[in-house]
Structure 1
Amino acid sequence: MRPLRNPVIQAVLAWLLARWMQFCFTTIRWTHVNQAAAEAVWDSDGGVLCAFWHSRIGLSPACWPLDRAQSPKALISLSPDGQFIARAVALQGFPAVRGSSANKDKADRAKGGSQALRDGLRQLKVGGLAITPDGPRGPARKMAEGTPLLARLSKVPVLLVGLSCNPAIRLNSWDRALLPLPFGRGAIVWDRTDYPEGADPAQVARDWTDRLNAVEAEADALVGLERV
């Protein structure tokens, strides 16, 4: 049995990961770029869709101030690994909306995806929804049409967020995910956008892919992290 499939082990590891992330976030020296765009959205009190690449999910709680921004939830896959991440993120104030899993068959993925879409739209009526547009299995840094679809149906503003830190642990996963290390440099770069009226979702996904890659590359450059 894989360790993360054991609920007791999963709970303990998730608690340890959450505490480690919070310690790192406190000690990292953060640089913020274009934060005024995010603050304007936070001050509006409406729904907001927040997107960052799957590789930066371990940094994502640092970009959302719970004391002033909308109450958030995170769209996380139904896989066992997704459950582990959901626990760690929830311990930091980001309960999960569960999505479809790449480990399930086509029918189950469709059912899970439809439920996630409904739950995501419900959340966007009252607060923030964080999403990784290339998860849970990639391809890395390529946005699927689900994120533009959520933005089009909800009509909420979208924050594309680039996150980085250095030094960091880079996992040997499909997305080369980053985990923070303490006492380093961190960067958060925001890009605010809206779904263009009448636009093709596939084209929007390509445009937003480029913009999200750009803010992440800027964040990496600010902290001196090599792109992979």
Structure 2
Amino acid sequence: MRPLRNPVIQSALASMMAAWLRFCYATIRWTHQNQGAAEAVWKQGGGVLAVFWHSRTSLAPSCWPLNRAPPIKGVISRSVDGEFLAKAVGRLGIPAVRGSSANKDKGEVDKGGTQALRDGLRQLKVGGLAITPDGPRGPVRSMAEGLPAMARISKAPVLFVGLSCNPAIRLNNWDRTLIPLPFGKGAVVWDVADYPEGADLGDVAAAWTDRITAVEAAADALTGLERI
């Protein structure tokens, strides 16, 4: 049995991970770029989509100040690994919306994507929703039309978040997930957009892919982290 399939082990590891991340967030020297754009969106209140690439998920809670930003939930897959992540992030004050899109090669399989869409739209009426548009399995830094569709339906503003830290551990998985180490440099870079009226979903997905990648690259430049 994989350790993460045991609920007791999973909960213990999630608590350890949350404690580690909290320690790292507190000791990293953070640089914030264009945070005024995020502050303006937060001040408006209501729904907002926070978007970053999946490899930076471990850094995401550090960018959302719970004392002044709208309450936020994160879309996390219903897999075993997703359950572990949901528990860890939940301990950092960010509840989960569970689900992911169906496998493109197995169109009949629904992993909670429809319910996640409904729950996500409901959350966007009152607060923030964090999404990794290339998760949970990639391709890396590739966006389908789901995020633009949600932005179009909800009319919520979109915050693109570039996250970086150095030094860090890179896991040997599909997107080389970044795990922070303490006492290093960190960066958060922001960009903001609204869904263009009448625009094609595919065109918006392509443009937004470039914008998320750009803020992530800018954050890596601030910390000196090598791009992969």
Normalized against structure 1, the TM-score is what?
A: 0.97
Determine if contact 1:30/1:188 at 8 Å carries over to the other structure.
Answer: yes
Q: What secondary structure is seen at the aligned counterpart in 2 of 1:57? A: helix
Note the 1:114-193 alignment, pairs <5 A: 114-193=114-193
TM-superposed CA distance for 1:221, in Å, is: 0.6
Determine if contact 1:61/1:89 at 8 Å carries over to the other structure.
Answer: yes
Q: What secondary structure is seen at the aligned counterpart in 1 of 2:112? A: helix
Determine if contact 1:102/1:137 at 8 Å carries over to the other structure.
Answer: no
Task: Give the partner amino acid of 2:206.
Answer: R
TM-superposed CA distance for 1:107, in Å, is: 2.9
**For residue 200 of structure 1, what is the aligned residue in structure 2?**
200
TM-superposed CA distance for 1:105, in Å, is: 5.3
Structure 1's unaligned 5+ residue stretches are none
Task: Give the partner amino acid of 1:44.
Answer: Q
Task: Give the partner amino acid of 2:61.
Answer: P
Q: What secondary structure is seen at the aligned counterpart in 2 of 1:225? A: coil
Deviations 1:4-25 (A, max 9, x none): 1111111000000000000000
Task: Give the partner amino acid of 1:78.
Answer: R
Determine if contact 1:42/1:69 at 8 Å carries over to the other structure.
Answer: yes
Note the 1:26-175 alignment, pairs <5 A: 26-100=26-100, 106-109=107-110, 112-175=112-175
TM-superposed CA distance for 1:99, in Å, is: 1.1
Task: Give the partner amino acid of 1:59.
Answer: L
Determine if contact 1:42/1:70 at 8 Å carries over to the other structure.
Answer: yes
Determine if contact 1:102/1:136 at 8 Å carries over to the other structure.
Answer: no
Q: State the distance in 2 between where 1:102 and 1:29 align.
A: 39
- 1:102–1:173 CA distance, 2 compared to 1 (3 A): farther
Task: Give the partner amino acid of 1:212.
Answer: I
**For residue 211 of structure 1, what is the aligned residue in structure 2?**
211
- CA RMSD, aligned part only? 1.3
Deviations 1:119-157 (A, max 9, x none): 000000000000000000000111111110110000010
Determine if contact 1:100/1:108 at 8 Å carries over to the other structure.
Answer: no
- 1:106–1:7 CA distance, 2 compared to 1 (3 A): farther
**For residue 15 of structure 2, what is the aligned residue in structure 1?**
15
Q: State the distance in 1 between where 2:108 and 2:19 align.
A: 37
- 1:225–1:133 CA distance, 2 compared to 1 (3 A): same
Q: What secondary structure is seen at the aligned counterpart in 1 of 2:75? A: strand
- 1:3–1:106 CA distance, 2 compared to 1 (3 A): farther
Determine if contact 1:167/1:185 at 8 Å carries over to the other structure.
Answer: yes
Q: What secondary structure is seen at the aligned counterpart in 2 of 1:141? A: coil
Determine if contact 2:74/2:94 at 8 Å carries over to the other structure.
Answer: yes
Q: State the distance in 2 between where 1:100 and 1:48 align.
A: 19
TM-superposed CA distance for 1:102, in Å, is: 6.4
Query: % of aligned pairs identical?
Result: 70
TM-superposed CA distance for 1:108, in Å, is: 3.4
Determine if contact 1:71/1:128 at 8 Å carries over to the other structure.
Answer: yes
Q: State the distance in 1 between where 2:141 and 2:32 align.
A: 22
Structure 2's unaligned 5+ residue stretches are none
- Equivalent pairs, count: 227
TM-superposed CA distance for 1:106, in Å, is: 3.6
Normalized against structure 2, the TM-score is what?
A: 0.97
